[in-house]
Amino acid sequence: MEAGKLNRRVQILHAQKQRAPGGQEVKTWVPLAKVWASIRHKGGLETIRAEAEASIVQASIRIRRRADIDATMRVQHGADLYEIRAVLPDEVHRDYVDLVCELGASRG
């Protein structure tokens, strides 16, 4: 894989439960790794939820191959938070992993 194609610096985040001062568990997002990536947006999908329009943008984010990423994680690029929906490894060359993501569909 050519390094020039991975032209965006992103951060992989994973959920971690912590105790709040009141004793309840709170999910926080903590950094797992900073990596170079290629981000390709697929287009907007307009949906109607509770009579309010919400825009969901689908993206494919390609990074160098890693075994420690799963669909419970997020990718942060600047102020954008992408929810990882699927992790698709390159089984032929084993060079990269494609992360199927959505922007604008938060899981909390």
The token pair at 93 is 């060359």
**pLDDT higher than threshold 70 for residue 106:** no
Q: Tell me if 23 is assigned to some domain.
A: yes
The answer, as to whether pTM is greater than 0.75, is: yes
Q: Tell me if 108 is assigned to some domain.
A: no
Spatial contact of 70 and 83, defined as CB atoms under 8 Å apart: no
Instruction: Report the alpha-carbon distance of residue 84 to residue 79 in Å, rounded.
Output: 16
Please give the tally of structural domains in the chain.
1
Q: State the residue range of the domain holding 50.
A: 3-103
Q: Tell me if 46 is assigned to some domain.
A: yes
Domain of residue 39, CATH code: 2.40.10.270
Instruction: Report the alpha-carbon distance of residue 100 to residue 56 in Å, rounded.
Output: 13
Tell me: the pLDDT tens digits for 16-67? 998 888 888 999 999 999 999 999 987 555 555 545 556 778 899 999 999 9
**pLDDT higher than threshold 70 for residue 14:** yes
